[in-house]
Structure 1
Amino acid sequence: MDDRHIVVVGAGLAGLVAARHLAAAGADVTVIERRDDVGGRVRTRTKDGFTVDRGFQVLFTGYPAVRRELDLEALDMRAFTPGATICRPSRRSVLSDPLRDVRNLFESVRNPEVTTTDKVRTLALRQDVGTRDEAEIFASPDQSIKSYLRDWGFSEDYIDHFVAPFYGGITLDRTLSSSKRVFEYTFKMLSAGQTAVPAAGMQAIPEQLAASAREEGATFRLGKRVEGLQSDAGGAVVTTSTDSVEADAVVVATDPKEARRLTGVESIPTDAHGCVTQYYTLPSESALGEGKRIMLNAANPDPNTVVPLSTVAPEYAPAGEELLCATFLGDAAQDESADDLFEKTNRTLEAWYPERYFEDLELLDTESVSFAQFAQPPGVHDSLPGHRDVPGRAYLAGDYTAWSSIQGAMRSGREAAEAVRTDLSA
């Protein structure tokens, strides 16, 4: 790989991982990114002293690619308590992982939202998925999450009151019509590690990857949009808004729509799930007091979840302030005004906490993300593109070659780099 020039288009997670591995193998790597900083869909900014991620995102530290690619200690992770608080008007109850949160075992056992039979089946399901790895799970026969859980014998109340809002937050699909493969693997990962955020916000993840790529010798050209790509057996040419760059190979690691535009590969999925996340502030003395758990809306989807972010990661808020976020799923939420969504959250919290008012709740920011994940209906993973589906010396890297997740993106970046190394060494 020495003296080979590789261009990586896109500085999201997949592109950054590919760049680091290629540079570490001795290639001359140039990363071209249309934005002025790295991160792709994983982004963070500061507003009025608060840390605001681009939509509510978390890191599953049990993901194999996360453990391989990241220095979690350096990211200074802040972990959620396993489980969730199931909320409905005038009632809140804890459902925790009895094997990982022994302190709340008694409260979880007594949870009125979940029958004893459902709790026993949950432990059996955990044991079942724990015996299979990622490749086995994603090669298994597929069906929707809802039909899968019904086949397991779970009650409709458990599916509607816990799984729908919890996995609605993971798949951005509260109807549970997404692939059960995603459910199985993420369910396995919830037991394999922590659910957490970096103290500095989620963008600390791609920033660490970019720093590692630079240490290996990769160079970055930020604020440059790639207009076109030509590729054949002898190499590739990338055209930007200002120049053309010749390379021995190109890794296309942009978002799915841009990747399809550049490569013409029609199997790249472009149907998407979106969401709107609002961030709210409260004085510290008005904190919700639910600990470090995600709060699930068992009654309706508006909002799907409420998260006490600064309780989990105090660095997300200035001293004396609390930061909450609420996530609304689907296209309809993106058509509503920020004020209307804020009012829905306010009414929901007052229903959950009838003993108090939320006149001190203030709207800080609204993050609308139209393409948060590509849609993953049953069977979609069988038709996703491969890394070598672009003719010539161009390669694909992105979660859309695996499955929509941080794990899928990072794994894809490494595998795309391996494909480049193999082909250029032949």
Structure 2
Amino acid sequence: MLQPAYQADVVVVGAGVAGLSAAHRLISAGVTTAVLEAAPCVGGRMSTEKVDGFRLDRIGQLLSTAYPELALAPALAALALRSFAPGVLLHSDGRHHHAGAQPGAGGARGALHAVRALASAPRPSGLPRSAGLPRPRTGTPRPAAPHGGAGAPGPVPAPKARPGAPLGTAVDQARLGGALTRLATTPVERLLRRPELPAGQALAARGLPAGTIDGFLRPLLAALLCDPELSTSSRCADLALRAFAAGRLCVPEGGADALPELLARTLPPGTVHTGVRVTSVATDTVTTAEHGEFRCRAVLVATDGVTAAELLPGLRVPDFHPVTVVHHTTDEPPATGGSLLLDADRGGPVAHTAVVSEVDPSRAPAGRALVSSTVLGPPPADVDTAVRIHLARLYGVPTGRWETLAVHHTPRAVPAMRPPHDLRRPVRLLAGLYVCGDHRDTSTVQGALHSAHRAARAILTDLGAAGSLHRADPARTTARAA
């Protein structure tokens, strides 16, 4: 029999969330698609290591329930998201403070309502009026029972609830709540027309007290952007704050790899081919190291930025933010009520940490707790020791007997988005050759998914199948990067 003119309409190079999502949209429109992945499994940087019943994310980027693409992608309808407690938990001057939202109210409107109620509520005799936002779920964290052990630090004073700092007075918090409320309802297009500066510089021009900026917004944005210096474009920072204000921080149930594995599992059998290393691409051919050539009508490169530039000479290679995640386990976990804990004082290497098993119990075996901590930027020489010392202060419990499960250092974890940053980098390089990934939009899961959405539409338009996409995807393209 004669060989076919091509083996698939489209070959997608890379089985991360962008490539898999694009494959879903193409196949839904009736376009035959093959996905080639060099690694032995799908997911790319959204990977999870399994160790003795624990599920340990390598990067652990935070997601938001307000990401539009999570709702627009039909293949992700079955994705289970586990939300942190509303807002965040701040550690400052040896104490904990809740900030960001009122339990049950959700989002920035809840924060504003909480501040107004707090400012007008009577206080019990002899107690100061708290300027902090109401505490979600369980209240002030309490330390675990003291325990010793070789090399264990001595007793650590438990963080105590403290009114005021770092959030300022009730009036300061009302201004913060109002700013978040406005941000949550501001159209994305208007945010993208704002003057662009490095995020750290732009914060000073927002009319908020310096204490609120340094004690809350800086550590929050560092966690959301994986950028401790806040060199990110202020427009990207506004989009990150908008998602925080409009939704809840969350993680996929079972680990970060649950998202790409769900996408891969719901594709037709035989679509994804792992262990296939692509060496070159053209508009109608993909050449692999082990399996020869794949002939096609179009090629979509959906790899990380460095690999994409190797396959597509002339493509800009972004800078990256390094991320180190340290996972510990203990049978006496600190109680945080499922909150994300940020260090407002920046007194150690840990930018944010959480008892992740409180948020997602499937990540740890019964009777054990999983504490995952993120270090942004270059890690210290003895990162585990430095992290343990810092965690003892943050949680107010001894950590010497905590067991280290893994230390994952990823030098190219998150593409940098320094100004000027184009949030809509071209996905169509020429007819037949396309590119997508978090280096084309914002360097978040939302950005990766949205770039895939844009690339799929460009391919279908060039192949004359755009009408099929409208029938298969009634939600159409209404998402914006966040």
Same fold at TM > 0.5: yes
Using the TM superposition, give the Cα deviation of residue 153 of structure 1 relative to its aligned residue in structure 2, in angstroms.
2.0
Structure 2 partner of 1:400: 439
The answer to whether the Cα contact below 8 Å between 2:75 and 2:266 also exists between their aligned partners in 1 is no
Using the TM superposition, give the Cα deviation of residue 73 of structure 1 relative to its aligned residue in structure 2, in angstroms.
6.3
Using the TM superposition, give the Cα deviation of residue 88 of structure 1 relative to its aligned residue in structure 2, in angstroms.
3.5
The answer to whether the Cα contact below 8 Å between 1:269 and 1:374 also exists between their aligned partners in 2 is no
Runs of 5+ consecutive residues of structure 1 not aligned to the other structure: none
The answer to whether the Cα contact below 8 Å between 1:18 and 1:414 also exists between their aligned partners in 2 is yes
For 1:327-342, list aligned pairs within 5 A. 327-330=374-377, 332-333=378-379, 336-337=380-381, 340-342=382-384
SS at match of 1:114: coil
Using the TM superposition, give the Cα deviation of residue 381 of structure 1 relative to its aligned residue in structure 2, in angstroms.
1.6
Using the TM superposition, give the Cα deviation of residue 70 of structure 1 relative to its aligned residue in structure 2, in angstroms.
5.3
Relative to structure 1, the CA distance from residue 399 to residue 162 in structure 2 (aligned partners, 3 Å threshold; closer, same or farther) is same
The residue identity in structure 2 corresponding to 1:395 is: Y
For 1:379-394, list aligned pairs within 5 A. 379-381=420-422, 385-389=425-429, 391-394=430-433
For 1:217-296, list aligned pairs within 5 A. 219-231=271-283, 236-242=284-290, 243-266=292-315, 268-283=316-331, 286-296=332-342
Give the greater-gyration-radius structure (CA): 2
The residue identity in structure 1 corresponding to 2:237 is: F
Relative to structure 1, the CA distance from residue 348 to residue 309 in structure 2 (aligned partners, 3 Å threshold; closer, same or farther) is same
Using the TM superposition, give the Cα deviation of residue 72 of structure 1 relative to its aligned residue in structure 2, in angstroms.
6.1
Using the alignment, how far apart are the partners of 2:398 and 2:376 within structure 1?
Answer: 25
Structure 1 partner of 2:459: 420
SS at match of 1:81: coil
Using the TM superposition, give the Cα deviation of residue 199 of structure 1 relative to its aligned residue in structure 2, in angstroms.
2.1
Normalized against structure 1, the TM-score is what?
0.89
| Residues 248-286 of structure 1: CA deviation (Å, up to 9, x unaligned) | 0001101101111111133x3421111101000111xx2
Using the TM superposition, give the Cα deviation of residue 411 of structure 1 relative to its aligned residue in structure 2, in angstroms.
0.9
Using the TM superposition, give the Cα deviation of residue 4 of structure 1 relative to its aligned residue in structure 2, in angstroms.
5.8
Aligned length: 408
| Residues 346-396 of structure 1: CA deviation (Å, up to 9, x unaligned) | 222333455x422321211011111111111122126x630112x441111
The answer to whether the Cα contact below 8 Å between 1:8 and 1:15 also exists between their aligned partners in 2 is yes
The residue identity in structure 1 corresponding to 2:435 is: L
The answer on 1:20 being equivalent to 2:40 is: no
Structure 2 partner of 1:314: 361
The answer to whether the Cα contact below 8 Å between 1:58 and 1:202 also exists between their aligned partners in 2 is no
Using the alignment, how far apart are the partners of 2:368 and 2:400 within structure 1?
Answer: 15
Relative to structure 1, the CA distance from residue 353 to residue 12 in structure 2 (aligned partners, 3 Å threshold; closer, same or farther) is closer
- Equivalent residue in structure 2 for 1:43, among 35, 47, 72: 47
The answer on 1:361 being equivalent to 2:388 is: no
Using the TM superposition, give the Cα deviation of residue 3 of structure 1 relative to its aligned residue in structure 2, in angstroms.
9.0
Using the TM superposition, give the Cα deviation of residue 22 of structure 1 relative to its aligned residue in structure 2, in angstroms.
0.8
Normalized against structure 2, the TM-score is what?
0.79
CA RMSD of aligned residues (A): 2.4
Using the TM superposition, give the Cα deviation of residue 104 of structure 1 relative to its aligned residue in structure 2, in angstroms.
7.8
The residue identity in structure 1 corresponding to 2:282 is: Q
Using the alignment, how far apart are the partners of 2:178 and 2:200 within structure 1?
Answer: 17
Using the TM superposition, give the Cα deviation of residue 238 of structure 1 relative to its aligned residue in structure 2, in angstroms.
0.6
Structure 2 partner of 1:158: 212
The residue identity in structure 1 corresponding to 2:404 is: L
Structure 1 partner of 2:172: 118
The residue identity in structure 2 corresponding to 1:295 is: L
The residue identity in structure 2 corresponding to 1:348 is: H
Structure 2 partner of 1:323: 370
The answer on 1:195 being equivalent to 2:249 is: yes
| Residues 181-218 of structure 1: CA deviation (Å, up to 9, x unaligned) | 1221122212333221222111111111112332xx76
Using the TM superposition, give the Cα deviation of residue 408 of structure 1 relative to its aligned residue in structure 2, in angstroms.
0.9
Using the alignment, how far apart are the partners of 2:75 and 2:330 within structure 1?
Answer: 33
The answer to whether the Cα contact below 8 Å between 1:88 and 1:351 also exists between their aligned partners in 2 is no
Moved more, 320-329 or 98-107: 98-107
The residue identity in structure 1 corresponding to 2:425 is: P
| Residues 212-245 of structure 1: CA deviation (Å, up to 9, x unaligned) | 332xx761111111001123xxxx1110002011
Using the alignment, how far apart are the partners of 2:335 and 2:75 within structure 1?
Answer: 31
Using the alignment, how far apart are the partners of 1:352 and 1:173 within structure 2?
Answer: 20
Runs of 5+ consecutive residues of structure 2 not aligned to the other structure: 1-5, 119-129, 134-162, 466-482
| Residues 102-137 of structure 1: CA deviation (Å, up to 9, x unaligned) | 898656344421123432232232233233333442
Using the alignment, how far apart are the partners of 2:71 and 2:77 within structure 1?
Answer: 11
Structure 2 partner of 1:345: 387
Using the alignment, how far apart are the partners of 2:370 and 2:74 within structure 1?
Answer: 27
Using the alignment, how far apart are the partners of 2:333 and 2:173 within structure 1?
Answer: 30
Structure number having the greater helix percentage: 1
The residue identity in structure 2 corresponding to 1:244 is: E
Structure 1 partner of 2:480: none
Using the alignment, how far apart are the partners of 2:410 and 2:385 within structure 1?
Answer: 20
The answer to whether the Cα contact below 8 Å between 2:55 and 2:364 also exists between their aligned partners in 1 is yes
The answer to whether the Cα contact below 8 Å between 1:87 and 1:296 also exists between their aligned partners in 2 is yes
